C-alpha cells in the first residue's frame, strides 16, 4: 500500500525541576526512574482527553543505562507510571541528545504511520551515575589514533574549541554565562518557566520528605568578577570553568507527540509542528561544534537561512560551544532570538533529558510569539556529533 507521511505535532512537554548532582542535591536519595515516572504521569494528567491506551510507544533516553536508569527504562517507566500493559517502551542513547533522538525517532514513526501517539523524554541522575560510569573505551581509539585523547573528557573538548576559535575569549564566555543566569532569573520572576515544572517528591533520610518545585542550579547573583576567580579544572590557565559551563545535574523530561490528525480527533492542542531534523558528526575532540553542520544540513534541505529562524533554543553545555555556533552563523552574542529565557549554564544539563527541555521551552515561546514561524532546537553531543530539529509554530499569525 502506498504511504503518505503525516504531520507530527508537539502537544505538551513537562520536566521535573533540575537538581544539583551529589550527596547534597535535591534528588540525592530519589531514584532516576521515579523522576521520569513523575513526568509521564503529569503529561497524562494535563491531557485528560488522551485515553492511556492510545499511547503507542514510550521512548526514554538515558546516557548511563544501568541501575535505576536501566531495565529498558522506557518500558519500565510506562509500567510504573500506570499506563496499560499494552503500551510498549524502549530505552535510547545518544548521550546529551538522548531525549532529542527519542523525539525524532518516535516522530518519524508517527510520520510513517507506525504510531499515532508517543511519549518521548529522557532522564539523567548524574549523582547516582556519573558520566562515564562503567564505560570501557576500546583501546583502539587511542592506539590507532582514531580520536584525540581529550575526546572523552567533555571539558577538555571545550578547551579545544577555545584553541580553534581564539576570538572566543574566556571573558566573552563568562559574559555569555552571566547573561544566561540573568535571563533565567528574569524568566522565573515573570513566571515563564514554572508552568512546565512538575512538583516532585524528594526523600532525605535526615530531613524526611520534601517537594522540589523549582530548579536548584541557577545562581542569579553571578558576576563577571566572580567568574574571573574560578578555577580552570581542565587545563592550567584554561578558559573553561564551572561558571561558564553547565553543571552536573539530575532531572527528567517527557513530551507528548501525535499525528496532527490524531491530535484533532482527541481534542489535543498542538504547540508546534515537527518540520525536519538532522544529525551530523564532527571530530570528537571538538564535539561542541557539532550543531553547526547539523544546522547547515537542515537549513539547506529546507531551503531556509538563519534569517528565517525566529527563535533558537541551543543547549548551553559550554559557553564556548554556543559562541562558536553564533559566530559561524554571524549571530550576535546577545541576539534576542537565542535562549530568551536562559539556558543550561543556569538551569542545568541532566545529559539525556535536555533535548526535551529545549523543545518545551521553545513551544512556550511560540505561544507568545505568534509573529515567529520557525524555531530551532540544537545541541552538541559527546563523541563528536550535533543535532538540530526544525519546528513550525502552529500559532503563527501568517497561517491565519
Question: What are the angstrom distances between the C-alpha of 46 and each of 1, 23, 120, 164, 196?
Answer: 36, 32, 16, 46, 10
Q: What is the pLDDT of residues 84-120, one digit of tens each?
A: 999 999 999 999 999 999 999 999 999 999 999 999 9
329-356 burial, b at 16+ Cβ within 10 Å, e below that, comes to: bebebeeebbbbbbbbbbbbbbbbbbbb
Contact 48, 24 (CB under 8 A): no
Q: What is the pLDDT of residue 163?
A: 97
Q: What is the pLDDT of residue 400?
A: 66
Rounded CA-CA distance 274/106 in Å is 11
Q: Which of 96, 125, 162, 255 is catalytic?
A: 96
φ, ψ of residue 243 in degrees (nearest 5): -85, -30
Contact 369, 396 (CB under 8 A): no
DSSP string, 125-193: ETTTS-TTTT----THHHHTTSS-GGGG-HHHHHHHHHHH-TTS-HHHHHHHHHHHHHHHHHHHHTTSS
Rounded CA-CA distance 137/258 in Å is 38
Is 255 a catalytic site residue?
Answer: no
**Residue for cell digits 513530551?**
255
Q: Return the number of other C-beta atoms located less than 10 Å from residue 320's C-beta.
A: 29
Q: Give the bridge partners for 277, in sequence order.
A: 389
**pTM of the shown model:** 0.97
Q: Which of 125, 129, 162, 349 is catalytic?
A: 349
Q: What is the pLDDT of residue 78?
A: 98
Question: What are the angstrom distances between the C-alpha of 141 and each of 131, 147, 285?
Answer: 18, 6, 12
Q: What is the pLDDT of residue 88?
A: 98
Can you list the residues of the chain whose pLDDT is less than 70?
Answer: 1-2, 400
Q: At what angle do helices 154-164 and 319-328 cross, to 10 degrees?
A: 40
Q: Which of 125, 129, 162, 380 is catalytic?
A: 380
Q: Which helix (H) or strand (E) holds 217?
A: none
Amino acid at each position: 500500500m502506498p504511504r503518505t507521511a503525516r504531520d507530527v505535532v508537539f502537544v505538551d512537554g513537562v520536566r521535573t525541576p533540575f537538581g544539583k548532582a551529589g550527596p547534597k542535591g535535591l534528588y540525592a536519595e530519589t531514584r532516576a526512574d521515579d523522576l521520569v515516572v513523575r513526568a509521564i504521569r503529569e503529561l497524562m494528567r494535563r491531557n485528560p482527553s488522551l485515553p492511556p491506551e492510545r499511547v503507542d510507544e514510550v521512548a526514554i533516553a538515558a546516557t548511563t543505562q544501568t541501575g535505576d536508569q536501566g531495565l529498558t527504562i522506557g518500558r519500565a517507566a510506562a509500567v510504573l507510571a500506570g499506563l496499560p500493559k499494552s503500551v510498549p517502551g524502549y530505552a535510547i542513547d545518544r548521550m546529551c541528545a538522548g531525549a532529542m533522538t527519542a523525539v525524532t525517532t518516535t516522530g518519524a514513526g508517527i510520520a510513517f504511520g507506525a504510531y499515532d501517539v508517543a511519549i518521548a523524554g529522557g532522564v539523567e541522575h548524574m549523582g547516582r551515575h556519573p558520566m562515564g560510569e562503567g564505560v570501557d573505551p576500546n583501546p583502539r581509539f587511542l592506539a590507532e589514533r582514531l580520536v584525540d585523547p581529550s575526546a572523552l573528557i567533555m571539558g577538555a573538548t571545550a578547551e579545544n574549541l577555545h584553541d580553534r576559535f581564539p576570538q572566543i575569549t574566556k571573558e566573552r564566555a563568562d559574559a555569555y554565562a552571566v547573561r544566561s543566569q540573568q535571563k533565567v532569573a528574569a524568566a522565573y520572576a515573570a513566571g515563564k518557566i514554572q508552568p512546565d515544572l512538575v512538583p516532585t517528591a524528594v526523600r532525605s533520610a535526615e530531613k524526611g520528605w520534601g517537594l522540589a518545585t523549582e530548579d536548584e542550579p541557577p545562581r542569579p547573583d553571578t558576576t563577571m568578577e566572580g567568574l574571573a576567580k574560578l578555577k580552570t579544572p581542565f587545563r592550567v590557565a584554561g578558559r573553561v570553568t564551572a561558571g561558564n559551563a553547565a553543571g552536573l545535574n539530575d532531572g527528567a523530561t517527557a513530551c507528548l507527540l501525535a499525528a496532527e490528525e490524531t491530535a484533532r480527533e482527541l481534542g489535543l492542542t498542538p504547540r508546534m509542528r515537527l518540520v525536519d531534523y538532522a544529525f551530523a558528526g564532527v571530530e570528537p575532540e571538538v564535539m561542541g561544534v557539532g550543531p553547526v553542520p547539523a544546522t547547515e544540513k537542515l537549513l539547506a534541505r529546507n531551503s531556509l537561512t538563519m534569517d528565517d529562524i525566529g527563535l533558537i533554543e541551543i543547549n548551553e553545555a559550554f559557553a564556548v560551544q554556543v559562541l562558536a555556533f553564533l559566530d559561524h552563523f554571524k549571530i550576535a552574542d546577545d541576539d534576542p532570538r537565542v535562549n530568551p529565557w536562559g539556558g543550561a549554564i543556569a538551569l542545568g544539563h541532566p545529559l539525556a533529558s535536555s533535548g526535551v527541555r529545549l523543545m518545551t521551552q521553545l513551544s512556550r515561546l511560540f505561544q507568545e510569539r505568534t509573529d515567529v514561524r520557525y524555531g530551532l532546537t540544537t545541541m552538541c553531543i559527546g563523541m563528536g556529533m550535533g543535532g538540530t530539529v526544525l519546528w513550525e509554530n502552529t500559532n503563527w499569525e501568517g497561517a491565519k
